[in-house]
Structure 1
Amino acid sequence: MTRVGNFLINFIFTVFVSLQGFSQQKYWVLFKDKELNTKAAISDKCKENRRALGMQEIQPSDFPVSQKYIAQLSANGIATLNQSKWLNAISSYLTHSQIQYLHTLPFVQEIIPIDSKLIIAKTNANQMANDDLRVDYVMKQVGIEGFLQAGLNGKDITIGVIDAGYYGTSESPALGHLFSEQRILGVRDYINPKKTNHFDERETSSDFHGTEVLTAITGKSSNNKLQFGLATQAKFYLARTDTGGREFRGEEDNWVSAIEWLDSLGVRLVNTSLGYAKGFSNPKEDYKPIQMNGNTSTIAKAAKIATEQKGMIVVVSAGNEGDDRDWRIISTPADVEGVIAVGATNEAGLKMGYSSIGPDFLDYLKPNVSCFSLYGTSLAAPVITGFVACMLQANPRLTNQEVKDYLQKSASLYPFGNNYLGYGVPNAFKALALIQNPNKEPLEVQNHTKTISVHETDHQLEVEVKAGDVVSVFHKKTPFLVLSQDSHKVRNNTILLKRNAQVKHTTVVTRDEVIEVIWL
């Protein structure tokens, strides 16, 4: 056996809790080393993807967990629930005496509690069943015409969806094409592995959530006159990793297993409209806002491996805690730098109240982009996933960093992004122009921008805009951190901005340009 060395240290969970008072609880058991002379647990498609992207074809994290270790634990009454080759760990329910036994084993590196709450966006089970013009609005908002004119619809792109259930999928008129054209390639239920009827058997109130997410990625009406998602010709692998109502105890290890499964199949694009925040069974174990730093949670560590080492494109809902004064910020894994975190806008281009904001302690911007959604960021992220599928169809060799860069550069606020909306709403025409001209930014894709510096002796500024426009304004204490937002219906070709001691930057977004005001 070969030592993995410092590789494992990066994945140690930093939040420790007292073991007292728990008779049996779920834990990660991390091992010190691996058997690297075994076969890497990845598919030929996965290897092909990595070769095309210029990545290392086989990586240490691709090798499975040592079966000798698992067998030894099993012989001593410790059953394995999930295995993570990325973390070199298993999850298991452990008693206090079993934990003491594990501490005596020379190949066990760490034992980490798993007990967290997962937040699903609030959605209405009946909203997506109808031909809702508001859903049609978001398609127009992101410039669906750009993809339609180019004949892009996600064809030949495989998408992984990690969610809470797919009840009703087979009966949904908006998803009938997935079955008639056999474009659901596989399903894994990490909650009930023996389950075979994944679409027609309902176990909990949240089992329809993944169905709504699928509809927002790939849905269309049976007569093809209405399109709910951009990737209507994509293929799918589906994973169910959690169960319960709107707020419930999450199984973080299931998510890690699911993302590893999708990578092993060669799936590059993944949507996950789930996020971890606060709500542990013991309040002392809650995540703290400061821990939404892209490095603390186990799910963040797995998402970081997916994006940095495996070349995966992970699209994540930013979270729906924007109105929660005790939280407000994004949940994990939306905090990971490499993922594409998606917020929600209203029709005026402002942040929806519920949409979570980026923390002020990160040195990178979150969320990355945003789009319209009445029903939570859970239904904004799938729109962007469909958008990315069309980008990959246009050029399958795009790296995940190129996808994120082009997505952000095509968006409505670029380059004046903020922690409310990221770089704003992406545009299909602009994204395609960037893909076709990777070495320069054509004039037609550049936002018309202007920077105005206001001298410290001036207490107000009149900004010229077109009468009749609805203008969005973001008042910021730094170039990125928003203090407040508002919108104006322009009547006399100008809006008046007044100096505020706390406001150092103001972004004015009109139909034709983005204006950055700097208060000196």
Structure 2
Amino acid sequence: MVSSSRSVFLLLFTVFLTYGGYSQDRYAIHYHYKPTERYSLDRPGELLTEASLLRRDRERIRLDSTDLPVADSYIAAVEAEVSQVLYHTHWLNASVVVADEKAMATIRSWPFVAETVLIGRGPGIRSSKNGRKEVRVDSAMDSPAHPYQPYDFQNELLGIPQMHLDGYTGAGVRVAVFDAGFHNVDNIPAFKHLFEQGKIIGTRDFVDVGSTGVFKSDTHGTGALSLIAANDNRLVAGAYDASIILCITEDMSTEFRIEEYNWIKAAEYADSLGVDIINSSLGYNHFDDVDMNYGKDDMDGKTAIISIGASIAASKGILVVTSNGNEGNLSWRTVTAPADSKDVLAVGAISTSLEKAGFSSVGPTADGRIKPDLVAYGTGVNLWRYTSGPSFSSGTSFSAPQVAALAAGLWQANPNLKMAELKELLIRSGHQAENPNMEIGYGIPNYERAMLGRDEDSQPVRELIVSLFPNPLEGDRLFVMNFPPQANGVRLISSAGNLVSQWTLGNSELRNPMEFHVGDILPGLYIVEFQSTNWAQRHKLLKR
């Protein structure tokens, strides 16, 4: 038995090692050079998987030095000096390690070391971190008493129902989701098909390095995944047939820059599996160690290491879809990294009124670019996080995966598109692509507008389908997306055939979306009729 005095001594000694002059912290060691050693760009099959090479062939991308691994000689030298090597990143030509300052002083003296960066205190140091500043309004959801499902509104905004009718559900497209955890995914019925059909093709935990288990830690990633791949009668997401890669990169117990490196390592892993789209519902600006904080001037897409990594991912032909940030109501207000990268699709959030959600971060970036790029519904989003049933959550974390799902369906429909072409197609499909601003960017993307935006010589052209939002209607503001240009009048008719309201329009008044105030009408079923002299089109509207 160890005496009590001996126990106290061991405890004090442990505290000294952890927090004193020999503290074990986490560092990134960046190297000057990348000796080819055992590998060569002339032998790509030794460097990348077949799936990764196929994507590069589609994109006509040549391999470069970032595809070469960190030199074996560097790895051997570092392993002999540090307490633990967490991983090496070939995109950054760096190693992420646990070491004390004495070891790091030695490493800094080596001629092949460019710089060392403190990226995480600890391990073992906890914080009072408040996570991703997610705006959460989780609530129980009752089954609706009418056939209109709660998720229809968010899907119809993006044209997901028509995309599914056309047979595009993300099949053949590989989507990675980076988040804090995917607790309950293996027990939620909406994900059952992913397991039965072998759709989850890769899992990795880059916080608990070496672990492949990801169905743990947090339900934030569960919610994001559900907006891409859920498929049951309570939520049909846009890309439920996509192949899925799940990576934990966010440490919920602390907030340090190591999470940015985790993200980049996850992107390398996803790249090796041939990923097409990365969805990242994460954003960084402030950390538990204030010396690591970014300033607004750093949001230029070239400073934050995660933004640099996101741009490298894009250079490999990967479409990176990321949340724009939930800083709109805070003093920061603007984007967080990696949304500031010019190479990613940064997605903001809108409310049921199709206006910017108050919490959604705004542009511009530090160098004056428009952000967000696009927006999707983000207030009270219907999603799966818990085994008890769907719930509602808010945040740009949950608008971004909806756009990622739309992108997967569009890529299935247009498999020959390069990533940059798909990104441009999505931006051009925004409802205010001709008049972007710093609140909602280029607007709400839409499947049908994107399909119409393709080369008309090689693709069929069809009329855009009119959509009413919200439907069911709970207030008095009705929005019409894809308003028929030939219509010069709108009538609201009761189920009994009585005229309730009508509006006459001129061409100068046409906008997308159009807004109508219907007044205090009784609950029930109505018909919205668009008309001109010799033409009429009718749509059902339910008033709650």
TM-score (norm 2): 0.73
Q: Which residue of 2 aligns with 1:31?
A: 31
Q: Which residue of 2 aligns with 1:233?
A: 241
Compared CA separation, residues 293 and 304, structure 1 to 2 (3 A) = same
The answer on 1:412 being equivalent to 2:431 is: yes
Q: Which residue of 2 aligns with 1:253?
A: 261
Structure 1 gap ranges (5+): 1-19, 448-466, 473-489, 496-506, 514-520
Compared CA separation, residues 194 and 80, structure 1 to 2 (3 A) = closer
Per the TM alignment, residue 471 of structure 1 is displaced from its structure 2 partner at its CA by: 9.4
Q: Which residue of 1 aligns with 2:200?
A: 184
Equivalences, count: 435
Aligned 8 A contact 1:311 1:400 in 2 = yes
Q: Which residue of 1 aligns with 2:446?
A: 427
Larger radius of gyration: 2
Per the TM alignment, residue 347 of structure 1 is displaced from its structure 2 partner at its CA by: 1.3
Compared CA separation, residues 194 and 295, structure 1 to 2 (3 A) = closer
Per the TM alignment, residue 377 of structure 1 is displaced from its structure 2 partner at its CA by: 0.6
Distance 1:21 1:401 in 2: 49
Per the TM alignment, residue 396 of structure 1 is displaced from its structure 2 partner at its CA by: 1.7
Q: Which residue of 1 aligns with 2:316?
A: 310
Distance 1:190 1:371 in 2: 29
Compared CA separation, residues 53 and 429, structure 1 to 2 (3 A) = same
Per the TM alignment, residue 281 of structure 1 is displaced from its structure 2 partner at its CA by: 2.5
Distance 1:468 1:191 in 2: 46
Distance 1:197 1:256 in 2: 19
Compared CA separation, residues 364 and 77, structure 1 to 2 (3 A) = closer
Q: What residue identity is the alignment partner of 1:49? A: R
Most deviating of 212-221 and 248-257: 248-257
Q: Which residue of 1 aligns with 2:300?
A: 293
Q: Which residue of 2 aligns with 1:167?
A: 183
Q: Which residue of 1 aligns with 2:222?
A: 211
Most deviating of 352-361 and 369-378: 352-361
What is the percentage of aligned positions where both structures have the same residue?
30
Distance 2:86 2:143 in 1: 40
Compared CA separation, residues 106 and 305, structure 1 to 2 (3 A) = same
Distance 1:195 1:42 in 2: 22
Q: What residue identity is the alignment partner of 2:341? A: V
Per the TM alignment, residue 446 of structure 1 is displaced from its structure 2 partner at its CA by: 13
Aligned 8 A contact 2:327 2:334 in 1 = yes
Distance 2:142 2:54 in 1: 38
Distance 2:225 2:206 in 1: 18
Distance 1:433 1:398 in 2: 15
Per the TM alignment, residue 510 of structure 1 is displaced from its structure 2 partner at its CA by: 4.0
1:114-125 equivalences in 2 (<5 Å): 114-115=119-120, 119=132, 121-123=134-136
Aligned 8 A contact 2:299 2:365 in 1 = no
Q: Find the residue that maps to 1:175 and give its secondary structure.
A: helix
Q: Find the residue that maps to 2:154 and give its secondary structure.
A: helix
Q: Which residue of 1 aligns with 2:327?
A: 321
Q: Which residue of 1 aligns with 2:284?
A: 276
Per the TM alignment, residue 491 of structure 1 is displaced from its structure 2 partner at its CA by: 9.3
Q: Find the residue that maps to 2:132 and give its secondary structure.
A: strand
Compared CA separation, residues 235 and 81, structure 1 to 2 (3 A) = same
Distance 2:175 2:166 in 1: 20
Cα deviation, 1:387-438, whole Å, max 9, x if unaligned, reads 0000110112212211111111111111101111111111111112223538
The answer on 1:89 being equivalent to 2:98 is: no
Q: What residue identity is the alignment partner of 1:327? A: W
Cα deviation, 1:60-101, whole Å, max 9, x if unaligned, reads 111111121111122223532121100000112332222221
Distance 2:76 2:417 in 1: 42
Q: Find the residue that maps to 1:114 and give its secondary structure.
A: strand
- The one of 51, 55, 66 equivalent to 1:61 is 66
Compute the RMSD of aligned alpha carbons: 3.3
1:112-511 equivalences in 2 (<5 Å): 112-115=117-120, 119=132, 121-123=134-136, 133-195=149-211, 197-199=213-215, 202-203=216-217, 207-221=218-232, 225-244=233-252, 248-249=255-256, 251-278=259-286, 280-307=287-314, 309-324=315-330, 326-359=331-364, 361-374=366-379, 375-435=394-454, 437=456, 509-511=512-514
TM-score (norm 1): 0.76
Per the TM alignment, residue 217 of structure 1 is displaced from its structure 2 partner at its CA by: 0.6
Distance 2:209 2:61 in 1: 33
Distance 1:242 1:510 in 2: 37
Aligned 8 A contact 2:349 2:357 in 1 = yes
Q: Find the residue that maps to 2:441 and give its secondary structure.
A: coil
Structure 2 gap ranges (5+): 1-19, 40-45, 122-128, 380-393, 467-475, 482-500, 517-544
Distance 1:276 1:438 in 2: 44
